Amino acid sequence: MEALIVYPENKEQLTALKAIMQAMKIAFEQQSEVYPQFVIKGVKESLTQANDNNLTPYAGLKDLLK
């Protein structure tokens, strides 16, 4: 079966969607984060490095490939 990802714009839409799915006995899962876990982990890791002043300056593509 296919899965749907919906993006309600406000709390009223979210409440209505949940009520409809419950009434129709459609299983659903609610997540507050829309980004994949690996993206969230990478951002948190980068913020920690920035806070620790542990940054590596970007000097060009050749430096990244070394």
Query: Domains in the chain: how many in total?
Result: 1
Residue 26 lies in a domain: yes
| pLDDT over 90 at 51, yes or no | yes
| pLDDT over 80 at 19, yes or no | yes
Residue 25 lies in a domain: yes
Distance CA(30)–CA(16), nearest Å, equals 14
pLDDT of residue 47: 93
Residue 5 lies in a domain: no
**pLDDT tier, 10 (very low <50, low <70, confident <90, very high otherwise):** very high
Q: Domain of residue 48: give its range.
A: 11-65
Token pair of 24 as six digits: 């129709």
| pLDDT over 90 at 24, yes or no | yes
